Amino acid sequence: MNKLLKLVDVNLNYKTDNNLIKVLQDINLEVQLKETLSIVGESGSGKTSLIMLIGGLEKATSGNIFFENDDISKMEEDDISNIRRKNIGIVFQSFYLIPNYTALENVSLTLEINKINKSQVIAKEILDRFGLGHRLNNLPSQLSGGEQQRVAIARSIAMKPKLILADEPTGNLDSENSNLISKILFDYVKEENSTLIMVTHDHNLANQTNRKIKIKDGKIE
């Protein structure tokens, strides 16, 4: 396997008034291309912060984060954004769809930003694949929670990213929709040879990944 991601002695601290909060401590982690990895742990243990660091949405206090051969921890925000836009898809628990855009527009916007031709055609194909061909012109408010999460996943994979980061992707869903969303994610990474790193409280979901790590008090156990 080829190494996609490597974290070396990564720390994340926050300062509040006179206090230093150690969010993540001495994180060392390697993730291979095509691997599926789940991150588990109690609320507040640092799981989401780790996802944010990997996705370049947070800056590490110290240490190095290599995406392929690029040390994103030392990059300027524009360069990180460029790597993220082309290589990393992020799925959040709360969907974050644009409320006044249809399902089709929410997905095609990602492609348009990246100057991809026939963006709406590609977006329609992805939504069809996820069973949402009949919902193309619906606004997020007209979709169920499961449908909104499918649109969010469709948006995240529109650029065929090498890495998908999913932060509690089934956290707001019932069991039926949770099973559907997890199947969509795992089927996609298998078919496209992508890598999946997922934060979840669902141990059944975590057990479906190739590997599972636990974060406790900001450290990998």
Which domains can be identified in the chain, with CATH numbers? 3-220 (3.40.50.300)
pLDDT at 61: 95
pLDDT at 1: 59
> In whole angstroms, what is the distance from residue 185 CA to residue 150 CA?
10
> In whole angstroms, what is the distance from residue 146 CA to residue 181 CA?
8
The pLDDT tens digits along the chain (221 residues) read 589 999 999 999 998 888 898 999 999 999 999 999 999 999 889 999 999 999 999 999 999 999 998 999 989 999 999 999 889 999 888 888 999 999 999 999 989 988 889 999 999 999 998 889 999 999 999 999 889 989 999 999 899 999 999 998 888 888 888 888 888 889 989 999 999 999 998 888 999 999 999 999 999 99
